[in-house]
């Protein structure tokens, strides 16, 4: 074995040893595409203080923290919470991750009851709208037969 071969064989592999400490940044378009939200929605969340992008000229640049917060905002909205409620759930949390939507069993139960009531109200409204539609369609059909 030559000296050069020997040195190559004992050199440690540092390729995966160090993780970059540089922050990851996202443009407004990156987040809009990833989370299927509008640019307007992102600007609205910023105006409400839920996201805090950095300005680079006229552009907004979002951090990984903003990305995680956006994920929680969308999760909260999917669960039927208001932005005010979501804001409270994620407030003052510097180490925010996708599991940090602060929900107590009482909050979850309250939301279940609220959504069940909403579902009942929606079901009643749909039944009434269908009834009216069929009456209208029947009336229109009767008018066609008279001609």
Q: What is the pLDDT of residues 21-74, one digit of tens each?
A: 566 899 999 999 999 999 999 999 999 999 999 988 888 899 988 998 999 999
The predicted structure's pLDDT at residue 71: 92
Phi first, then psi: what are they for 60, rounded to 5°? -100, 135
**pLDDT class of 104 with cuts at 50, 70, 90:** confident
Q: Which of 31, 32, 70, 35 is nearest to 50 (CA)?
A: 70
Tell me the pLDDT tens digit for each residue of 108-127.
999 999 999 999 999 999 99
pTM, two decimals, is: 0.68
Question: Given this structure, which CATH class describes domain 22-103?
Answer: mainly alpha
């Amino acid at each position: 074995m030559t000296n050069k071969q020997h040195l190559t064989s004992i050199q440690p592999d540092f390729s995966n040893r160090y993780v970059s400490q540089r922050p990851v940044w996202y443009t407004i378009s990156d987040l809009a595409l990833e989370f299927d939200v509008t640019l307007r929605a992102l600007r609205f969340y910023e105006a409400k203080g839920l996201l805090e992008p950095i300005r680079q000229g006229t552009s907004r640049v979002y951090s990984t923290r903003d990305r995680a917060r956006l994920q929680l905002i969308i999760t909260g909205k999917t669960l039927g919470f208001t932005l005010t409620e979501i804001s409270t759930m994620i407030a003052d949390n510097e180490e925010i991750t996708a599991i940090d939507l602060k929900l107590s069993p009482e909050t979850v139960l309250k939301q279940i009851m609220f959504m069940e009531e909403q579902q009942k109200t929606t079901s009643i409204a749909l039944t009434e709208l269908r009834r009216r539609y069929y009456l209208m369609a029947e009336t229109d059909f009767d008018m066609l037969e008279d001609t």
